[in-house]
Amino acid sequence: MDHDALRPSLALRRLVNGYQVTQAIHVAAVLGLADLLADGPRSSGDLAATTNTHPGTLYRLLRALASAGVFREEEDRHFALTDLGACLRVDAPEPVAGWATFVGESSHWQAWNALLHSVQTGENAFRHVHEIDSWTFRAHHPELSASFDRAMTDLSRQLSAAILAAYDFGRFGQIIDVGGGNGAFLGAVLAKHPMTHGVLFDQPHVVSGAGPVLAAAGVAARCEVVGGSFFDAVPAGGDAYILKAILHDWEDAPCVQILQTCRRAMADGAALLVVERDLGRPNQDPDAKFSDLNMLVGPMGQERTPDDYAALFAAAGFRFVTFTPSTVGTGVYEGVAA
């Protein structure tokens, strides 16, 4: 056993240095190194020539990531994929490259650098740094918007199977996915339930990227795509309205506004399906607790408990029915238009 690994100071220093791992994986994702290793091990020199990078320095990057388990270093500076590294392939069943790319890019990274400002003031770090909210910022930077949408698509691909296993979306004929991004989650829902039709709703510059995602899921013919703002109006006529990873982006007051917009479009008895994490218990669930900080820093939102969601539902004219957890920490908060 490595006794050094148990020393609190070393354990803490490794946590402190997590930012180094974040940027190293970000660079590997941006360079597409995992895709270049898909057919087997390659030398760092060969990878450097293919990616037009500095050979000695790329070797140092690969060596560091191999020490963290992302790649495996073999003879003569050759590197292979590990199970972790394989998740950086674009064709991974549960891809992480989009998330790694987004998390390490400068506008998000700089916002995290203002976490202290958020903690001191309660204000949003992204707006403090960039003088504009994250949604408007990305609307003005198409390449960052596409990077964010790809990150969301990656996350949906990681979570969809578990959520669909936990909750039966097949009992609804018409499902509206409000803020559905590029359609990865709705695509998975419709693919699993062939009798179901869908409407994908999001900002116009976001749904413009949905075509290939819905086509890849084989559901384009059963899915209408509508652009707009969920602060104005959402499509009417759905049996169920999904809001996945939407409310955690916002403080309570805008959440109630979004839910009220949905309520106006919904017939009595229609289902509200809020797909979000459960913040979890004290001292547990670091994914949820740090996602909560990520919401503070980026969009100015927060993660919540089932009681929190029940209160939001009541404030917007919904009766809270139940929370269905899944094996991945994200579950379905179900309400009914009362």
Ligand X SMILES: C[S@@+](CC[C@H](N)C(=O)[O-])C[C@H]1O[C@@H](n2cnc3c(N)ncnc32)[C@H](O)[C@@H]1O
Catalytic residues: 248
CA end-to-end distance (rounded Å), the chain: 59
Structure tokens at 223: 């899915």
Interacting residue with ligand X among 244, 263, 277, 304 (CB under 6 A): 244
Pick the stretch among 46-54, 238-246, 279-287, 288-296 that binds ligand X (CB under 6 A): 238-246
- Is 209 a binder of ligand X (CB under 6 A)? no
- Is 277 a binder of ligand X (CB under 6 A)? no
For residue 25, the surrounding DSSP H or E stretch is helix 18-31
Residues 6+ away with beta carbon under 8 Å from 24: 61, 64, 65, 68
| Distance, CA of 252 to CA of 291 (rounded, Å) | 17
The alpha helices in 173-219, defined as continuous H runs, are 184-192, 204-207, 211-217
Structure tokens at 96: 């992480």
Residues 6+ away with beta carbon under 8 Å from 221: none
Instruction: Choose between 246 and 297: whose C-beta lies nearer to ligand X.
Output: 246
Q: At what angle do helices 18-31 and 8-16 cross, to 10 degrees?
A: 40
Structure tokens at 264: 């106006």
CB of 214 to ligand X, least distance (A): 13
Interacting residue with ligand X among 85, 95, 179, 198 (CB under 6 A): 179
Pick the stretch among 26-34, 94-102, 177-185, 326-334 that binds ligand X (CB under 6 A): 177-185
CB of 272 to ligand X, least distance (A): 14
Instruction: Choose between 254 and 306: whose C-beta lies nearer to ligand X.
Output: 254
- Is 260 a binder of ligand X (CB under 6 A)? no
Bridge pairing between strands 318-324 and 330-337? antiparallel
Interacting residue with ligand X among 51, 53, 174, 203 (CB under 6 A): 203
CB of 23 to ligand X, least distance (A): 22
Instruction: Choose between 45 and 235: whose C-beta lies nearer to ligand X.
Output: 235
| Distance, CA of 186 to CA of 197 (rounded, Å) | 10
Angle at 44 between CA 39 and CA 49, to 5 degrees: 90
CB of 156 to ligand X, least distance (A): 4
Contact code string over 36-75 relative to ligand X, x by CB under 6 A: ----------------------------------------
Three-state DSSP class for residue 74: coil
Residue at 254: amino acid letter = P
- Is 181 a binder of ligand X (CB under 6 A)? yes
Q: How many other CB atoms are found less than 10 A from the CB of residue 279?
A: 21
- Is 255 a binder of ligand X (CB under 6 A)? no
| Distance, CA of 29 to CA of 90 (rounded, Å) | 9
Instruction: Choose between 275 and 310: whose C-beta lies nearer to ligand X.
Output: 275
CB of 203 to ligand X, least distance (A): 5
- Is 180 a binder of ligand X (CB under 6 A)? yes
Interacting residue with ligand X among 64, 133, 135, 306 (CB under 6 A): 135
Q: Which residues bind ligand X (CB under 6 A)?
A: 135, 152, 155-156, 179-181, 185, 202-203, 206, 229-231, 244-246, 249
